């Protein structure tokens, strides 16, 4: 395992300052260090653990897509929920996400599964647990990560308005208790996993619905096409302004 030295944007360091000194977080840090010392292979690599928070600054968050665990197979996890690096085979859930995207907006399935373009537009791709042992799904659950990511959801809910929380599956939907539904929007559907995708994920139209909600707030819609060029936005565009 590479050294645990995660990067995150300064805005998140400020927003979450109190969390880093709480007992649960110190215990989590000790747990991860012990995993490293014992020779466990942990994903994603250390510098990418907080990639979602590094690529999408607090003030730019407009949409949250909540996952559960990072991918646990070699080369897949890169710190963004559902995303895999270019060159990696598309995992089944991501294949299904792209199928729904095509049905919803007519966007052809891309040749890669990297969702960084979404993150750069204000889509926080957050997993509830930010690390996992190789080939051991769920191995880092209930070690403190859920407390940390719950604090992210609470802070966003409290300090911002008009956010769109996309919650796929029962695990993500349990987080609704952390969200002020009088200030924010929640889109729910079954998980895109092959085990549940036919129960209502297909046809949920969450991508077009998200853009409709953003436009209603005079915010830039998301360009969900990961293979197209980024929108040409000016520095005064609402994409770069806090809600």
Q: Is position 237 annotated as part of the catalytic site?
A: no
Residues contacting 14, CB < 8 A, separation 6+: 58
Q: Which residue in the list 5, 54, 69, 180 is annotated as catalytic?
A: 69
Beta-bridge partner residues of 10: none
The Cα 169–Cα 99 span in angstroms is: 17
53: helix, strand or coil: helix
The Cα 18–Cα 77 span in angstroms is: 27
CB atoms within 10 A of CB 160: 17
Residues contacting 240, CB < 8 A, separation 6+: 60, 233
The Cα 6–Cα 221 span in angstroms is: 30
Which helix (H) or strand (E) segment holds residue 140: the answer is: none
H helices within 64-144, ranges in order? Answer: 92-105, 116-120
Answer positive or negative: Cα dihedral of 172, 173, 176, 178: negative
Q: Which residues are annotated as catalytic?
A: 69
């Amino acid at each position: 395992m590479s050294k645990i030295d995660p990067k995150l944007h300064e805005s998140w360091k400020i927003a979450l300052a109190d969390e880093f000194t709480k007992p649960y977080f110190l215990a989590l840090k000790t747990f991860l260090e012990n995993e490293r010392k014992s020779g466990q292979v942990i994903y994603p690599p250390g510098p990418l653990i907080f990639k979602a928070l590094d690529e999408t600054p607090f003030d730019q968050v407009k949409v949250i897509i909540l996952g559960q665990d990072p991918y646990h197979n070699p080369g897949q996890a890169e710190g963004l929920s559902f995303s895999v690096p270019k060159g990696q085979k598309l995992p089944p859930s991501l294949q299904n996400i792209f199928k729904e995207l095509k049905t919803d907006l007519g966007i052809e399935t891309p040749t890669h599964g990297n969702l960084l373009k979404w993150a750069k537009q204000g889509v926080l791709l957050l997993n509830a647990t930010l690390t996992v042992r190789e080939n051991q799904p769920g191995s880092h659950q209930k070690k403190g990560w859920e407390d940390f990511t719950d604090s992210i959801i609470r802070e966003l809910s409290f300090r911002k308005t008009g956010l769109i929380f996309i919650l796929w599956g029962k695990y993500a939907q349990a987080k609704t208790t952390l969200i002020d539904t009088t200030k924010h929007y929640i889109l729910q559907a079954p998980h895109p996993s092959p085990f549940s995708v036919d129960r209502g994920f297909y046809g949920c139209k969450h991508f077009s619905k998200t853009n409709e909600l953003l436009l209603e707030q005079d915010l830039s819609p998301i360009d969900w096409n990961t293979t197209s060029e980024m929108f040409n936005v000016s520095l005064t565009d609402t994409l770069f302004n806090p809600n």
